[in-house]
Structure 1
Amino acid sequence: MVWGPGDAQIDFGQVHVINADGDDETHSMLVVSFPYSNARYGQLYRGETAECVCHGLQTIYDHIGFVPCLQVFDNATGIGRRVGQIVKESDLFARFRTHHGFHSRFCNPYSGNEKGHVENAVGYLRRNLCVPLPKIDDIHAFNKELLDRCDELLEQDHYRKKDKLSLLHRDDQQAGLPLPVHRFQPVRFDTRQADKDGRIKFENNYYLIGGAYAGRELTISIGAEDLRFFTPDGIQVGRLTRCFTHSATTIAAEQSLLDILVTRPGAFSHSPLRSLMPTALVSALDQASYNDKRHAIKALTATSTACGFDATMNAAEHLLERSQPLSQASLDLLASSAGSIYHPNPAVDLAIYDTLAAS
């Protein structure tokens, strides 16, 4: 097959990584390759859904500065379903394609020549950018760095045309489509009712929003990395990391777990929050009386609601290091200025001026 400038192939490939806890995980790399120039770009995700495809493509478009005019997809990319000779696109992808104005085509089954370039690109990026296994603490930061490293690979010579890949990729850019004026929102929406415990069931997993929403109907914004929960009047009441595998336990945000402890402080002894808190704070709460524990958790919850969980934990650790009580006023003051906790400057030695004056 002949591929012209601006044509692209898209597919997923499996990549092993080390997560923030030091465990081996399998992620999916969305790869966009350009057969004409041999340029290749990738983005890492924990799933292969239409949300992941649309989010990854838009991120790559923004980076390279154009939209490939023809895009050929593997049948298993999560954006369409083939029935016989007909491919039914997902609603999200159909809107995404219309918004960006490109032409799409799905590979015929058993026609490896239609996506041979992207399959080679998957292996190439995996060998060159993911060996040894990358340790990922922040997948967004990793993906940003991944795009920059893909740019560096463009300084190589084309294996057959002998020109630099970066020069040939300019032909792709000139033949491509301009970026749309308005960005596409790569999410879909669904409506679910919370159970008596304030949990929402989505894709065989339970997500805890909070007891205050028990029995209420909420709208879910389903994205590539997270789920956001909204009341009927549009107020966001929760945001949780999307789980792409079955979880044996309920998935909960730190804030939701704190809200539970306000009314049940005795449950702190077996709360999942213990592993997310500074060791000194866990120890202090374990040793506190029931009333002191209840007051401390109430203060932590209020500050976390206003300033965020991480900032609140840093503030609590700062107070405990100085043997100060966990009052809400102190937590609010430190957490609201997270990252700018006052550290006194060392005293200035004025002795040098005495020496100068005497000379």
Structure 2
Amino acid sequence: MRNQKSLSINKISKTLGINWRTAKKYADGDLLPKEAKRKRSGMMYREKWGEIVGDWLWEDQKLKRKDRRTNKGIFKALQEMGFEGSYRTVSNYIQEWREGREDLEDETKDKSYERLIHPPAEAQLDFGLMQAVQDGKYRDVHCLVMTLPFSNSAFAIPLPAENQECLLHGMKLIFDQLGGIPRTIRIDNMKTAVVKPRNRNEEAAFTQEFLQFATHYGFEPQACNPYSGHEKGNVENKVGYVRYNFITPAPVIEDLDHLTKLLQEQLTTDRQRIHYKKQVPLQELLEEEHQYLLALPEEEYPVFKEEKTKANKYGEITLDKTKVYVPKGYNYSQLSVVKYWDRFKVVSPHGEPLYQDNRPYMHKNREIPWQSILKAWLSKPRAVSYSRYSAYLPGRLFEYLNISNLSIRKERIQWIIGLLATYEMNEINNQFYELLSGQSDELKEPDAHPYNIDWSKYDQLQSAPQIEGEGK
């Protein structure tokens, strides 16, 4: 109408019964195609939840894959903070966040294995390295996991090392939790149990101590073929399941016994879920499997290892790659060291106890990298309130940093970073008020001291006139 009939905008407007501006727009405007702008919407973008999840994922990128949060773990943590959305909402957001950040896996290899059929009372055993936080420091935990593939049930015992004493002690605790003994237990070629791996012509040769332990409990040990972890794939998967669902982020524990109880409670609750294939609860399958288990022996098996050693001229012996001083140790040409999973004792040739203590690895821990964590918080101060590391901060310092004013929060983070050059985090917490006394008013804001007392109120009570007849 505009180009072919040369009508005016007014004529087009009256003819079509539309607004003059609309006629002008479509008659004289350049109607070029434009790409649709996809505006992200939803509660993950409108509210704080997307920022929180993004900060968690950004934080986890610095960790090993096995220590990162799972989608399920992130969803549970959000629910504890009051999140009302669905698991699918969180998963979709995480997928969008991760796009372009991780390399795609190589799909050229055929990774499938032959499906195995597992009879009742057949078990698989393996160690998995995990970590917890004890006394404000990281502690490596060697978690012994045993699974029963028939019921898909799992049992886990945290241990300080993977030596033979820890292996046998952990198996004893698992048998007690299970209330019976599996008829066969499949393991990999760990040196604490296998002397010589199996090959085409010979079966695997087990250590004398492990065979003696297996004979006492009555189970048949089976070793996998070399480089064939898929032969115990159930426990391989379960080690990751325990790590991602129960020990990520690293839990704060009092000691290994505390962590043992936590894992037992969590795995007992986990057995209420439905089996992925048999569509019945795991606990029901485990109860069915119990009738095939061997009974626990009446006599407890003592787990220890005795070795001969000699002290150097300084009276030291080497235990767990650590020099240990033994009083009067150099007086004897030979000493006996009796090693238990958590402690040891040194005995003279005449049977006289010379020294006993916890094994050196019981005190072994790693510092939490607070310098790098706090520097990351400087760029994202809002993340302090919900960071995985916040739970590891000593109480006073958490209250000190958990302030709504972000500019003051950054100043306080910077102050602690400076102190870490001289003090450890626990020392800063113990000497907190002494170190704070010379700082600025912003750093000493009253809400940083939740335990401060307003003594003026007590002064007013003391100076108030006493009513006649009132008791003292």
Output the TM-score relative to the length of structure 1. 0.64
In 2, the alpha carbon distance for the partners of 1:144 and 1:221 equals: 28
Alpha-carbon contact 1:53-1:77 (below 8 Å) kept: no
| Structure 1 position 15 matched with structure 2 position 130 | yes
Cα RMSD after superposing both structures: 2.4
Counterpart of 2:243, as a letter, is: R
| Structure 1 position 242 matched with structure 2 position 356 | no
In 1, the alpha carbon distance for the partners of 2:249 and 2:242 equals: 12
Alpha-carbon contact 2:198-2:223 (below 8 Å) kept: no
Offset at residue 41 of structure 1 (A): 0.8
Match of 2:143 among 10, 19, 29: 29
Closer, same or farther in 2 for the Cα pair 1:61/1:77, shift >3 Å? farther
In 1, the alpha carbon distance for the partners of 2:117 and 2:198 equals: 26
Offset at residue 244 of structure 1 (A): 5.0
Output the TM-score relative to the length of structure 2. 0.49
Give the count of matched residue pairs.
247
In 2, the alpha carbon distance for the partners of 1:236 and 1:116 equals: 45
Alpha-carbon contact 1:92-1:187 (below 8 Å) kept: no
Give the corresponding residue for 2:158.
Answer: 44
In 2, the alpha carbon distance for the partners of 1:69 and 1:43 equals: 20
In 1, the alpha carbon distance for the partners of 2:205 and 2:357 equals: 30
**DSSP 3-state at the match of 1:200:** strand
**DSSP 3-state at the match of 1:133:** coil
Alpha-carbon contact 1:11-1:77 (below 8 Å) kept: no
Gapped regions of structure 1 (runs ≥ 5): 248-274, 280-359
| Structure 1 position 179 matched with structure 2 position 293 | no
| Structure 1 position 116 matched with structure 2 position 220 | no
**Per-residue Cα deviation, 1:2-40 (whole angstroms, up to 9, x for no partner):** 1111110001111022232x2223321110001000100
Give the corresponding residue for 2:322.
Answer: 205
Counterpart of 1:215, as a letter, is: N
Give the corresponding residue for 1:214.
Answer: 330
**Per-residue Cα deviation, 1:285-321 (whole angstroms, up to 9, x for no partner):** xxxxxxxxxxxxxxxxxxxxxxxxxxxxxxxxxxxxx
Counterpart of 1:39, as a letter, is: S
Offset at residue 83 of structure 1 (A): 4.5
Give the corresponding residue for 1:99.
Answer: 216
In 2, the alpha carbon distance for the partners of 1:203 and 1:52 equals: 13
Counterpart of 2:343, as a letter, is: D
Offset at residue 68 of structure 1 (A): 0.7
More strand by share: 1
| Structure 1 position 60 matched with structure 2 position 177 | no
In 2, the alpha carbon distance for the partners of 1:222 and 1:214 equals: 20
Alpha-carbon contact 2:125-2:235 (below 8 Å) kept: yes
Offset at residue 73 of structure 1 (A): 0.2
| Structure 1 position 146 matched with structure 2 position 263 | yes
Alpha-carbon contact 1:50-1:90 (below 8 Å) kept: no
Counterpart of 1:4, as a letter, is: P
Offset at residue 241 of structure 1 (A): 2.4
**DSSP 3-state at the match of 1:190:** strand
Alpha-carbon contact 1:207-1:240 (below 8 Å) kept: no
**Per-residue Cα deviation, 1:240-282 (whole angstroms, up to 9, x for no partner):** 222359x9xxxxxxxxxxxxxxxxxxxxxxxxxxx9xxx9xxx
In 1, the alpha carbon distance for the partners of 2:254 and 2:163 equals: 22
Give the corresponding residue for 1:315.
Answer: none
Alpha-carbon contact 1:92-1:186 (below 8 Å) kept: no
Give the corresponding residue for 2:274.
Answer: 157
In 1, the alpha carbon distance for the partners of 2:265 and 2:347 equals: 35
In 2, the alpha carbon distance for the partners of 1:122 and 1:132 equals: 15
Offset at residue 233 of structure 1 (A): 4.1
In 1, the alpha carbon distance for the partners of 2:235 and 2:298 equals: 29
**Correspondence list, 1:279-358, <5 A:** none
In 2, the alpha carbon distance for the partners of 1:142 and 1:26 equals: 12
Closer, same or farther in 2 for the Cα pair 1:235/1:140, shift >3 Å? farther
In 1, the alpha carbon distance for the partners of 2:198 and 2:290 equals: 35
Counterpart of 2:133, as a letter, is: I
Alpha-carbon contact 2:329-2:354 (below 8 Å) kept: no
